[in-house]
């Protein structure tokens, strides 16, 4: 292993092809960092490294992820406060020289395409099965589908009357996460053919957050995991735009390769068959 840099609530370890970030546990450590525990950031996922002066005689080292490299940061979409940014570490002012040397070593290993968007997700996120308790639902992700089990006390009449919802991953094109800080937020699945209701508390593919329900450290890793999984399903999207027979043949190939569950395969097979009539 390479150089080690210990900052407030995190330790960064520089290896030949990655940076391992271990987050401390404790009352002062951001809860998101505690939930993540540790992260290995491949150097190909980094676009730049900065060292700046912080408050109260500190220095701040920050790695800037390439756009599209980290599903966690893509889901966050710039909504994380600096104190929760997992790519940022604060060090005492007397460690400024060490921080500068660490940053220089890291910069020297960045590739020529570091400034370009990443061609795929490069940083790992929590893996399913995952559970999330929101204000109006319990949301589950088993790796193949996302389910919403509505709360009798929190869900609106629209959601309660519609009943629990289950969305195969093949029907999901993306995830919209709104930070639950302040007045609340939501986790919305963006569906392939179903328009979203702009009202999160009425949308059947959206869970609403409130104080104590769906905090950042719970909801953001969940959103990132679903987002990463949708990107790995892009071959399903490629089936669209083809003739009916071609789409069904391609669908069978995906199913045979284990890229679709029985439920996903049946849903898409029936839809493609109906559309080709």
Q: Tokens 């407030």, residue? A: 8
Query: Is 60 exceeded by the pLDDT of residue 241?
Result: no
Q: pLDDT above 90 covers what percent of the chain?
A: 77
Q: Would you say the pTM of this structure is higher than 0.85?
A: no
Write the pLDDT tens digit of every residue in 2-36.
589 999 999 999 988 999 999 999 989 999 999 99
- Is residue 237 very low, low, confident or very high in pLDDT (cuts 50, 70, 90)? very low
Query: Is 80 exceeded by the pLDDT of residue 275?
Result: no
Instruction: Compute the average pLDDT of residues 43-71.
Output: 96
Q: What is the pLDDT of residue 236?
A: 40
Q: State the Cα–Cα distance between residues 61 and 46, nearest whole angstrom.
A: 13
Write the pLDDT tens digit of every residue in 257-268.
555 667 767 777
Write the pLDDT tens digit of every residue in 122-164.
999 999 999 999 999 999 999 999 999 999 999 999 999 999 9
Name which residue leads in pLDDT, 230 or 233. 230
Query: Is 70 exceeded by the pLDDT of residue 277?
Result: no
Q: What is the pLDDT of residue 254?
A: 66
Name which residue leads in pLDDT, 37 or 246. 37
Q: What is the pLDDT of residue 129?
A: 95
């Amino acid at each position: 292993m390479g150089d080690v840099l210990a900052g407030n609530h995190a330790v960064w370890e520089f290896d030949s092809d990655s940076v391992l970030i271990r987050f401390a546990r404790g009352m002062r450590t951001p809860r998101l960092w505690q939930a993540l525990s540790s992260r290995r950031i491949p150097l190909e996922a980094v676009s730049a490294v900065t060292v700046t002066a912080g408050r109260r005689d500190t220095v701040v080292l920050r790695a800037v992820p390439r756009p599209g490299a980290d599903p966690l940061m893509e889901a966050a979409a710039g909504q994380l406060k600096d104190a929760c940014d997992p790519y940022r570490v604060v060090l005492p002012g007397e460690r400024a020289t060490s921080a500068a040397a660490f940053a220089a070593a890291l910069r020297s290993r960045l590739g020529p395409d570091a400034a370009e968007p990443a061609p795929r997700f490069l940083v790992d996120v929590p893996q399913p099965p995952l559970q999330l308790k929101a204000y109006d639902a319990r949301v589950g992700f088993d790796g193949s589908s996302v389910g919403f089990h509505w709360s009798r006390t929190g869900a609106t009449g629209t959601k309660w009357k519609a009943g629990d919802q289950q969305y195969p991953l093949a029907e999901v094109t993306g995830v919209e996460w709104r930070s639950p800080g302040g007045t609340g937020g939501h986790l919305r699945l963006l569906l392939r053919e179903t328009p979203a209701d702009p009202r999160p508390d009425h949308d059947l593919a959206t869970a609403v957050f409130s104080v104590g329900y769906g905090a950042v450290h719970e909801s953001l890793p969940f959103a990132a995991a679903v987002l990463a999984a949708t990107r790995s399903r892009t071959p399903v999207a490629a089936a669209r735009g083809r003739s009916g027979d071609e789409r069904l043949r391609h669908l069978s190939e995906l199913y045979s390769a284990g890229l679709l569950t029985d439920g996903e395969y049946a849903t898409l097979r029936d839809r493609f068959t109906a559309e080709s009539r």
